[in-house]
Amino acid sequence: EPYVDRVERDRMGSVIGFKAGSQSPAADQPRRKIMLAAHLDEIGAVVTQIDQGFIRFTEIGGLDERVLMGQEVVVHGRRDLPGIIGSIPPHLLAPGETSNEVDMEKMHIDLGLPSETVADLVQICYIISFSRTPTELLSGLISAKAMDNRASIAALVVCLQHLQRMQHQWDVYAVATADEEWGSFVGATTQAYAIRPDAAIVIDLTFANVDEIEVELNKGPVISLGPSNHPVIRRRLIDICNDLEMKYQNEILPGGAGTDAFAIEISREGVPTILISIPSRYMHSPVEVVHPKDVERTGRLMAQFIAGLEEAFVGELVPKLE
C-alpha cells in the first residue's frame, strides 16, 4: 500500500494496486495503462468425504502426489484445524503393494479428534492448505510452500518500490489475481476486462534444473517466447536486460503455459501481453525453492520497462500491414 495511490479488492477476490502515471493525454483521452498480474492463490486440497473422523480429499491446482504422505496441513473448518496426511502403514499392505506409490484417494487427513467433533467442525468442500515454515537453504535459496505464486507477488512489490524513485508516463495496475490454480483464470479475466490495459505483463514461476529445460536458479528472470508473448514487448525487455547487464533466460512455450497470460491476451479486442517467469525447483509441492535475486531482478526489469513506456510504443505493438 505505501507504493501505490490506492488499493482495492474486487468481488472475485483479486487485489488491485493503482499508481498514476504522469502522461498528459489529449483532451477526452485517458492515460495509457499497463497491467501487471501475479496470481495470489496457491495449490491445496478440498474435503471430499469424512469417514469415521478421517478426512478424504482431492487436489486444487495439480498437487504432486508423491510428496503428500506425512505432510502437515491445516483444514480450514469452522476454525483452523492442524492435521497430518497419512495412509495404511506399509506393514499392512498386500504383497506387491509396498513398491507402488500411494494414490491420493488412499490417503486421509488425521486431525486427532473424535469423529463426532470432526463432523461438527468440518464439512464437504472445506479448503485444506499446507502448513510449512519457510526454510533458508545454503547459497541464499528459500524453500517454502506457495512460492507459486508468492515469489511473483514479491516481484510486483519490488517493481513498485523501484517506481517510487522513477518517472513513468503510463498508469500502473498491479493486480494480484484470484483463481489461477483452479484453471479458470477468473481474476485475470475479470480484471483485464475492467482495466482494459494497453499492455500487460504476467509474472509466474517456471521449472528450473529439469531435464531438457535450460533454466537455472540465480540466472535471472525467464522471458518467454510463444503464442501468448508479444514479440515487441519481449524485444524491449531483452534490450533493457542487455543495457543493465542483467542476467536473463529464455523459455520457448509453443503451446502456451497455462497462466493468466492467456486470459489477459484475449480480453476485449486483445491485449499485447508477455509472461516473465521466476525459476523454481519442486513446483506444486510444499517445498518450492526460489532464489531471492531472481525475484529482485524480475521486479527491477518490470520497473525499467514501465519507466520507458511512452505514447509511441502503442503504435509499435500493432503489426504493420506489408
What is the model's pTM?
A: 0.93
With cut-offs at 50, 70 and 90, classify the pLDDT of residue 246.
very high
| Domain 44-130: assigned CATH number | 2.40.30.40
Q: Give the model confidence (pLDDT) of 39-74 as tens digits.
A: 999 999 999 999 999 999 999 988 888 899 999 999
With cut-offs at 50, 70 and 90, classify the pLDDT of residue 105.
confident
Q: Give the model confidence (pLDDT) of 167-224 as tens digits.
A: 999 999 999 999 999 888 999 999 999 999 999 999 999 999 888 888 999 999 999 9
Over range 95-107, report the average pLDDT. Answer: 73
Alpha carbon 74 to its chain's center: 21
Q: Which helix (H) or strand (E) holds 165?
A: none
> Mapping DSSP to helix (H, G, I), strand (E, B) and coil, where does residue 66 land?
helix
120-152: b (≥16 Cβ within 10 Å) or e: ebbeeebebbbbbeeeeeeeebbbbbbbbbbbb
Amino acid found at 307: A
| Domain 6-42+146-316: assigned CATH number | 3.40.630.10
Does position 94 have pLDDT exceeding 80, yes or no?
no
Q: Give the model confidence (pLDDT) of 135-178 as tens digits.
A: 999 999 999 999 999 999 999 999 999 999 999 999 999 999 99
User: Boundaries of CATH 2.40.30.40 in the chain?
Assistant: 44-130
pLDDT at 296: 98
To the query of whether residue 269 is one of the catalytic residues in this protein, the response is no
**What region, left, alpha or beta, does residue 11 occupy, with left being phi > 0 and alpha being psi -120 to 50 degrees?**
alpha
Which string of DSSP letters, residue by residue, matches 2-42? TTSSEEEE-TTS-EEEEE-----PPTT-PPPEEEEEEE---
Q: Give the model confidence (pLDDT) of 264-313 as tens digits.
A: 999 999 999 999 999 999 999 999 999 999 999 999 999 999 999 999 99
| DSSP code of residue 245 | T
User: Boundaries of CATH 3.40.630.10 in the chain?
Assistant: 6-42+146-316
From the candidates 180, 251, 265, 288, which is the catalytic residue?
180
Does position 316 have pLDDT exceeding 70, yes or no?
yes
Give me the residue label for grid cell 531471492. 292
Q: Give the model confidence (pLDDT) of 15-33 as tens digits.
A: 999 999 998 877 678 899 9
pLDDT at 96: 62
